Structure 1
Amino acid sequence: MTTMAARIVHISIERDWREVYAFMADPQKMPLWASGLSSGLKRDGDEWIAPGPLGNARVRFAAHNEFGVVDHLVSLENGLTVHNALRVVPNGDGAEVMFTLLRQADMSDEQFAADAAWVEKDLAALKTIMEADDR
């Protein structure tokens, strides 16, 4: 059995974790903070279609749940499916958002670092939105 290198990218957000979860679990709101989905998602049955530079990706989200799990499977046209593990948990009166980044087999050190930086940027955008005064 082979495991991939992993990195947990996380951020603290000063807002109730349930509100953060509700926002994050809405696929129509993901393009507001997840820049890889900036062109938006279109529903297709139980999945969502995400147009991107590598073609259309099919995205399947975890069912709504009380545990803060926002996992999603992204299937690319080339056949690769990536499990994106995304969690929101209580952190005092706020939330901790954690993304588990798995290093794909063909990724260089530089690509893995760039992916981690991208996730950090997206989580920072989420924090900005969720902590805005006009919420």
Structure 2
Amino acid sequence: MISRHVSRVIAASPNAVYEFASDPDNLPRWAAGLARTEVVREGDALVVDSPMGRVTVRFVPRNGYGIVDHDVTLPSGATVTNPVRVLAHPEGAEIVFTIRQLELTDDEFDRDTRMVEEDLDRLARLLTSP
């Protein structure tokens, strides 16, 4: 299985990036590859309409380590774990998203990588715009 690490440096504090990225209500604002509509809470799960269809998302508990890992249960029932880290960086913060190829074709893996890149670009713009 192949993994790719997509990262962006954001001119904001690691805490600000973590707080924004880990808040499920912000997902539709920056994570279009995951959430196209408002997040609906069903117990400890979040349900969103995504480009893949209706999915369930579960984040790790809030923490002081910048870990924003989340599991996405796809319409097929398969669950994908997405490791995400917010790290201190000399220019503010760096967010690192790990994408795993799993059962994707090379073209699908490239498409998912581009979507994550676009999402992280959107996140950086939101957190650095005046």
Q: Alpha-carbon deviation of 1:79?
A: 1.4
The aligned counterpart of 1:20 is 17
Separation of aligned partners in 2, 1:93 and 1:127: 12
The aligned counterpart of 1:64 is 62
Gaps of 5+ in 2: none
- TM-score of the superposed pair, with normalisation by structure 2: 0.94
Separation of aligned partners in 1, 2:47 and 2:18: 21
1:65-96 deviation per Cα after TM superposition (whole angstroms, max 9, x unaligned): 00000111011231110001111010025000
Separation of aligned partners in 1, 2:89 and 2:72: 28
Separation of aligned partners in 2, 1:65 and 1:93: 22
Structure of greater Rg: 1
Amino acid at match of 2:14: W
List structure 1 runs of 4+ shifted beyond 3 angstroms.
52-55
Q: Alpha-carbon deviation of 1:18?
A: 0.4
The aligned counterpart of 1:129 is 126
Gaps of 5+ in 1: none
Q: What's the secondary structure of 1:66's corresponding residue? A: coil
Separation of aligned partners in 1, 2:70 and 2:25: 14
Q: Alpha-carbon deviation of 1:56?
A: 2.2
Amino acid at match of 1:119: V
- TM-score of the superposed pair, with normalisation by structure 1: 0.91
Amino acid at match of 1:101: I
| Residue-pair matches, total | 129
Separation of aligned partners in 1, 2:48 and 2:27: 11
The aligned counterpart of 1:80 is 78
Calculate percent identity across the aligned residue pairs: 36
